[in-house]
Amino acid sequence: MLLAKYTLLYSVVLMLVALGGAFTEHSGVINIALEGTMTIGGLVGVIALVVLPPGTPTVTIIIVSVLAAGIAGILYTSLLAFASVNLKADQTIGGTALNLLATALAVVIVRRFNAGTQSAKLTYNNEPFLIDIGGLTVSVFLFIGVTLLIFAIIVMYKTRFGLRLRACGEHPHAADSVGVNVSKMRWWGVLISGFLGGIGGFAYIVPAVQTWNFEVGVAGMGFLALAVMIFGQWKPGRIFFAAMFFAVFKSMANIADSTFLAALEWPKEIYNMMPFIASMVILAFTSKKSRAPKAEGIPYDKSGR
Amino acid sequence: MKKKNGSPFIGGDALASIGASFISIIIGLVFGFLFLFLLSLINSGGESFSTIISNAWKYGFKQILMGGFYLPPISIGQEIAAAAPLILTGLSVGFAFKTGLFNIGAAGQYTLGAFGALFFAIVLKLPWWACLIGATLFGAFWGAIPGIFKAYLNIHEVITSIMFNWIGLYAVNTIMYGGGAGVMYDSSKTKVWDLRSLFPASVIPNLGLTTFFKNRSTTIAIFLAIIIAIIIYIIIDKTTFGYELKATGYNKSAARYAGISEKKNIVLSMVIAGALAGFGAGLYYLSGIAEWKPLDSTALPAIGFNGIAVALLASSNPIGTIFSALFISHITTGGSLMNSQYFPPEIADIISGIIIYLCAFSLLFKQLLMKRSSQKRSAELVESTLKEPPHIDSLVPETDIPESGMAAGEEDDD
Amino acid sequence: MAEADYIIEMLNITKDFPGVRANDNITLQLKKGEIHALLGENGAGKSTLMSVLFGLYQADEGVIKKNGEVVNISNPNDANDLHIGMVHQHFMLVECFSVLDNIILGVEPTKAGLLQENEGRQKVIELSEKYGLHVEPDALIEDISVGMQQRVEILKMLYRDNEILIFDEPTAVLTPQEIDELMEIMRGFTREGKSILFITHKLQEIMDVSDRVTVLRRGKCIGTVNTADTTVEELSSMMVGRPVSFAVEKSDRKPGDVILDVEGVTVSSRLHKNNAVKDVSFNVRQGEIVCLAGIEGNGQDELVYALTGLEKQSDGKITLCGQDISKSSIRQRSVDGMSHIPADRHKFGLILDYTLEQNMVLERYWEPRFQRNGFIKFDAVRDYSDKLIEQYDVRSGQGSTTVVRSMSGGNQQKAIVAREIDKDPELLVAVQPTRGLDVGAIEYIHKQLVAQRDDGKAVLLVSLELDEVMNVSDRILVMYEGEIVGEFDPKKTTVDELGLYMAGAKRNIAKKGAEVR
């Protein structure tokens, strides 16, 4: 079932990135730069993949490239963390800047990589990541994703770290007054989203196809992940279901040619539009009851007691 | 204990704002040069250090600094032609900023404007000024959408705009392509019908500028853009409408208290912002040399996002926007003139992106500048603004509870 | 006193903020086992000084000693290590967390990084029983009462074995009865050997519970006295620097026609399912000042929002000068003769980034006087603003072109008062108009309110300060949990009686809207 394959694929991506976003926002920082983080993380992961010598054991390939993607994500979002936490910059604008930079950077780097041609595309072998389970092709990211999800739930709600993190996003002055280092916590929150976002970007690019044109970045997936996060009300469990839901819409574009949808003879672009339209419809209906972390988006300043 | 402000990117102390912008520009350029240097380094095959630096200069940075003046008069003409629509997208973003809204949807509104312009030209066969109006209307329509979502459903305009950017792009491409048989589509050339040869009346007149600059892209568009900028300036500073918009942007609650209709102003502001972006698209796509390739346009028009850099650099001041647009156009033109063997034109985009990043904390620069000058009191003002820091609404609606007595922000230092 | 008797000493503390010296060479010494009050008006520097002690700020000069030894307190953790704790004026509680989570935040019991909530809950319950501070550990902060929230703040301190307890204006949100309970709890702490620092600007409380008082004025320490040796008058004198007359000059006046008529107004609450205002009816007549008194959060704010149009009522009718304005827009009500001096001047009353003149025409910019065909008549605006500044003595750096953000709180409020009164309204709604102001500004505003009344206008005053309520108003309506529970003539009642009504212990108005005239 192609629909199932793509749905699983996209839901893992959306879930990972949305989880990252949730960590950041729970600490009090808005992270619009998820799109850019995914692009950079995906880029570095793919480069690692391409650069690893043939004959490397599969497990090594997976570990090295995934970690590379995650670390790249961490490094990239540290720019956002620095601007938002230390310089108290406007987080929406900082995030937008990073998105724009990411695509431009990615294209420049890829062109450099493909020295000589003007191509912004990279080709790679994605076999190590695909596993066949009873006829259904599943990517290894599914397992990575579920593991990280469980981890996230435990960290967020059962650990001291998670409690303090959430306090920073709800009432940073209260956290400060009991000795929690709000700046440090927010850095953590942002970097976690860098890690998850980077891996998410890699998980988006690699399993589905063997060539990727970096001019499009990640084609809006980062923003869809934001919608998933909001729809999931910043809670990991709900994000999981929200991701599944949105992933169905996203998958329709991929299967349009080959299934019952082909009979409808809708132009392909309609399917591309669907996840975005679905997001808007859902947001329209749920916005009234939405409850974001109270202090998100507001840089923390001690003297504003 | 939430303290919220309207957007700070609305000026303040003029001199310090300009100074802060300059700092952002200079740092951006420095980073750009470092980048070029790095690329040159990677390219080099054991050349000497000074050769590497001079390569970075000769083949890249010189062009960026000189911009359109690198290959006069053709490139000057190109620079001016590219600046015109950029002024408009900058105005679009800046106008929205005044009302406290972040119009990241300028790219989508631009796309719809392009569609409007081409539709009016090719299908309705109207003269250029009517096509411009068409472009404006389509842009206004697309701008209204996030405005309505924000005003009536309290969904943040950033999310709505981004979603509709993509929806707009796909929709426009689909319609234009029309499955290969679209009315606007020339399948032999895989792009939209050429205006200059087929619909000359729809092309914006150039009044001799074409011969002057020896290129076909320069039209009176730049003058139209400047006129619009002046009109916007008058609206914002001299009219009651502008007063209401700014009030809403600075302090929503006080605006309500004053009897200003917040919802109406949000929608109106986005409509105008969309109209501006649409008009900008008209200026570009009716200039006779621009083409739209439905199958290739997989990314949103960058000019929509460069408009953000333009608006931020100008602190949303309409007159300042003219200059910042010329500057961005300058480096973009320069970027396209770089030796593409060595350096991809995206370098200019990177510089642009870095500038936006720096503008995000431009208030910091402002404060540093003012502390140095003798304007200590203003510096304290800015510092107190820093404590209630620059901020555009959080992504998700807060419940609109009027805060009761124990409100924050009141106590003088206790 | 021998130095060893002092458990905490703050010596020569100076703390600057941009443009203002909040603490100027202040010395404060706390004896072990005493309740030491810190008195001063708003802006005197009390909270800053305590924040320095608690590690939220660092002093620019000066030294802190505990038990005679110099200590360095650079953050709340350090303060905590020294067993110093603080109950803040604005509670530092995370609303969507439980009572338990709030108490253990920062000192969570853990095993291998995982929270051990049961352990924490056990300790909280023990402490709660020992000191008689009843709380529900698993209830969410947003669901519990203000009184319980304060108990949570206190338990935070006890959980951390704090010995030196700082209370910052703890009584602002309590009924007179709850205040008595709190004082008893504080005495209990000192009997155990804990020491208490108690910030307040309420003189009677100081006389009731403290052992010694330190008075601050404009950042400087005026002196420290034994409570037993001083009087309310002397303290007040030290606090403001001159003898203060508490009475407001007011001649008797007979009220005229009904200007504002409120019938059966109900307003729903955004915070919970109950209504914030329940079926309230009253009126205000020409030439009288009616005051809505009550503890904060009993519906006064929502009622005012309904009256001014900032919120819609769900039921009931509002009539102004005979016209039904229940569905009118905010602007229409203003045009019809209502002026509003809002409680939160920064949120509603002013646009801080606008200039003074732009704020002066905030509600009138659209009038033909100030614009033509949509274009602002800048000269007219300037003249008007200059006139108001002169008439009402509004002081600012650059006059009409001053950016309001840079003006002092008192002058900002004067600007609002000027604007609202100059509209010549039939009804003036003033909500906490003197909050956070110095005595001079307070006197001035009271004068303006009385002048309005003497001029035959109707004034609806909402106030939390009982002194103001008693001295300024002609008629008092007490609100409790969204209803009007009592109506009084200030000359014939006492603060204590009002307190009972404010706490819901009594009512002299039958339920469901019947009025006592």
Could you state, in order of their start, the residue ranges of all structural domains in chain B?
Answer: 70-333
Q: Give residue B396's pLDDT band: very low, low, confident or very high (50, 70, 90).
A: very low
Q: Which two tokens stand for residue C311?
A: 């919120």
The whole-number pLDDT of residue C212 equals 94
pLDDT tens per residue, range B78-88: 888 889 999 99
What does R_g of chain C's alpha carbons equal in angstroms? 25
The whole-number pLDDT of residue B377 equals 47
B410–C345 CB contact, under 8 Å: yes
Is residue A215 scored above 60 in pLDDT?
A: yes
Q: Give residue A304's pLDDT band: very low, low, confident or very high (50, 70, 90).
A: very low
A178–C94 CB contact, under 8 Å: no
Is C195:C33 a contact under the CB 8 Å cutoff?
yes
Span B181-187, average pLDDT: 68
Strands C84-87 and C164-168, sheet pairing: parallel
A282 belongs to a structural domain: no
The closest alpha carbon to A234, from A242, A223, A244, A224, belongs to A242
Three-state DSSP class for residue C8: strand
**Dihedral of CA B156/B160/B161/B166: which sign?**
positive
Q: Give residue A38's pLDDT band: very low, low, confident or very high (50, 70, 90).
A: very high
Type of residue found at A150: I
Is B11:B316 a contact under the CB 8 Å cutoff?
yes
The CA distance from C22 to B414, in Å, is 7
Judging contacts by C-beta atoms under 8 Å, the chain C residues touching residue A183 are none
A97–B4 CB contact, under 8 Å: no
- Name the residue facing A267 among B42, B179, B350 (closest C-beta): B179
> What are the CA-CA distances from residue A164 to residues A25, A155, A179, C160 (Å)?
13, 11, 10, 17
Is B135:B117 a contact under the CB 8 Å cutoff?
yes
Strands C69-71 and C110-111, sheet pairing: unpaired
Q: Residue C207: is it exposed, middle or buried by C-beta count within 10 angstroms (0-12/13-18/19+)? A: middle
Type of residue found at B24: S
User: Which of A49-58, B136-145, B343-352, C79-88 ranks highest by mean pLDDT?
Assistant: B136-145
Tell me if chain A has a CB within 8 Å of the CB of B291: no
The CA distance from A185 to A293, in Å, is 15
Q: Residue A260: is it exposed, middle or buried by C-beta count within 10 angstroms (0-12/13-18/19+)? A: exposed
Span A260-282, average pLDDT: 76
The closest alpha carbon to A39, from A111, A92, A99, belongs to A99
Q: Rounding to the nearest 10 degrees, give the CA dihedral for residues A301, A302, B2, B5.
A: -40
The whole-number pLDDT of residue B22 equals 83
Q: What residues have CB less than 8 Å from B22, skipping those under 6 apart?
A: none
A273 belongs to a structural domain: no
Q: Tokens 């002690």 label which residue?
A: C53
The matching CATH number, chosen from 3.20.20.100, 3.30.420.40, 3.40.50.300, 3.40.50.880, for C245-337+426-517 is 3.40.50.300
Question: How many residues in chain C?
Answer: 517
The subunits that touch chain C, with at least 3 C-beta pairs less than 8 Å apart, are A, B
B389–A294 CB contact, under 8 Å: no
- The chain C residue lying nearest A182, using CA atoms, is C106
Tell me if chain C has a CB within 8 Å of the CB of A166: yes
The CA distance from B325 to B309, in Å, is 9
C17–B408 CB contact, under 8 Å: no
The whole-number pLDDT of residue B154 equals 84
The CA distance from B306 to B313, in Å, is 11
Is residue B399 scored above 60 in pLDDT?
A: no
Residue of C444 and B41 predicted with greater confidence = C444
Type of residue found at A165: L
The closest alpha carbon to C15, from A305, B380, B388, B413, belongs to B413
User: Which of A87-96, B1-10, C120-129 ranks highest by mean pLDDT?
Assistant: C120-129
Looking at the DSSP bridge assignments, the partners of residue C318 are C262
Q: Which domain holds residue A89?
A: 8-219
Distance from CA of A223 to the nearest CA of B (A): 7
The closest alpha carbon to C458, from C304, C294, C291, C310, belongs to C291
HSE (CB half, 13 Å, CA atoms) of C441?
Answer: 22
The whole-number pLDDT of residue C14 equals 92
CATH domain B70-333 topology? ABC transporter involved in vitamin B12 uptake, BtuC (1.10.3470)
A156 belongs to a structural domain: yes
The whole-number pLDDT of residue B157 equals 87
Q: Which two tokens stand for residue A162?
A: 């998670």
- The chain C residue lying nearest B240, using CA atoms, is C374
Average pLDDT value for chain B: 78
The whole-number pLDDT of residue B1 equals 26
The whole-number pLDDT of residue C47 equals 82
Please give the DSSP secondary-structure letter assigned to residue B331: H
Judging contacts by C-beta atoms under 8 Å, the chain C residues touching residue A305 are 47, 51, 56
The whole-number pLDDT of residue C247 equals 63
Query: Which stretches in chain C have pLDDT values below 50?
Result: 1-3, 512-517
C348–B254 CB contact, under 8 Å: yes
Count of the separate structural domains present in chain A = 1
A100 belongs to a structural domain: yes
The CA distance from C91 to C228, in Å, is 31
Is B104:B308 a contact under the CB 8 Å cutoff?
yes
Q: Residue C273: is it exposed, middle or buried by C-beta count within 10 angstroms (0-12/13-18/19+)? A: exposed
The CA distance from B322 to A43, in Å, is 36
Query: Residues B386-400, buried b or exposed e (16+ Cβ, 10 A)?
Result: bbbbbbbbbbbbbee
Judging contacts by C-beta atoms under 8 Å, the chain C residues touching residue A158 are 114-115
The subunits that touch chain A, with at least 3 C-beta pairs less than 8 Å apart, are B, C
The CA distance from B349 to B32, in Å, is 10
Judging contacts by C-beta atoms under 8 Å, the chain C residues touching residue A171 are 92-95
> What are the CA-CA distances from residue A175 to residues A185, B283, C93, C466 (Å)?
10, 53, 9, 34
Question: How many residues in chain B?
Answer: 414
Q: Tokens 């400060």 label which residue?
A: A176
Q: Give the start-to-end residue ranges of the domains of chain C.
A: 3-240, 245-337+426-517, 346-424
Is residue A40 scored above 70 in pLDDT?
A: yes
Please give the DSSP secondary-structure letter assigned to residue A53: P
The CA distance from C98 to C152, in Å, is 10
Please give the DSSP secondary-structure letter assigned to residue C403: B
Is B343:B351 a contact under the CB 8 Å cutoff?
no
The CA distance from A243 to A241, in Å, is 5
Is residue B273 scored above 90 in pLDDT?
A: yes
- The chain B residue lying nearest A79, using CA atoms, is B357
The subunits that touch chain B, with at least 3 C-beta pairs less than 8 Å apart, are A, C
Q: How many CB atoms lie within 10 A of CB C325?
A: 20
Q: Which two tokens stand for residue B201?
A: 């009346």
Query: Residues C462-491, buried b or exposed e (16+ Cβ, 10 A)?
Result: bbbbbebbbbbbbbbbbbbbbbbbbbbebe
Query: Residues A215-244, buried b or exposed e (16+ Cβ, 10 A)?
Result: bbbbbbbbbbbbbbbbbbbbebebbbebbb
The CA distance from B174 to B320, in Å, is 37
Tell me if chain A has a CB within 8 Å of the CB of B350: yes
User: Which of A137-141, B144-148, B288-292, C462-466 ranks highest by mean pLDDT?
Assistant: B144-148
Q: Tokens 């609206």 label which residue?
A: B235
Q: Which two tokens stand for residue B341?
A: 């063997």
The whole-number pLDDT of residue B44 equals 66
Is residue A241 scored above 50 in pLDDT?
A: yes
Q: How many CB atoms lie within 10 A of CB C440?
A: 10
- Name the residue facing C108 among A163, A174, A175 (closest C-beta): A163
Judging contacts by C-beta atoms under 8 Å, the chain B residues touching residue C365 are 240, 243
The CA distance from B162 to B349, in Å, is 19
The closest alpha carbon to B242, from B227, B232, B229, B253, belongs to B232
Q: How many CB atoms lie within 10 A of CB C175?
A: 21
Is residue B218 scored above 70 in pLDDT?
A: yes
A177–C56 CB contact, under 8 Å: yes
Looking at the DSSP bridge assignments, the partners of residue A138 are A131
A303 belongs to a structural domain: no
The CA distance from B167 to B109, in Å, is 11
CATH domain C3-240 topology? Rossmann fold (3.40.50)
Which of A150, A178, A181, A234 would best serve as a mutation to test chain C binding (most C beta carbons within 10 A)? Answer: A178
Type of residue found at C386: D
| Residue C423 dihedral angles phi and psi, to the nearest 5° | -70, -10
The CA distance from B354 to B344, in Å, is 17
What ipTM describes this predicted complex?
0.83
Type of residue found at B154: N
Is residue A259 scored above 70 in pLDDT?
A: no
Tell me if chain B has a CB within 8 Å of the CB of C299: no
pLDDT tens per residue, range A110-157: 887 777 667 778 877 777 777 776 667 778 888 889 999 999 999 999
Judging contacts by C-beta atoms under 8 Å, the chain C residues touching residue B250 are 351-354
DSSP conformation letters of B51-82: HHHHHHIIIIIHHHHHGGGGSTTHHHHHHHHH
Looking at the DSSP bridge assignments, the partners of residue C267 are C277
B255–C301 CB contact, under 8 Å: no
Is C49:C129 a contact under the CB 8 Å cutoff?
no
Please give the DSSP secondary-structure letter assigned to residue C296: T
Q: Give residue B410's pLDDT band: very low, low, confident or very high (50, 70, 90).
A: very low
Residue of B375 and B408 predicted with greater confidence = B375
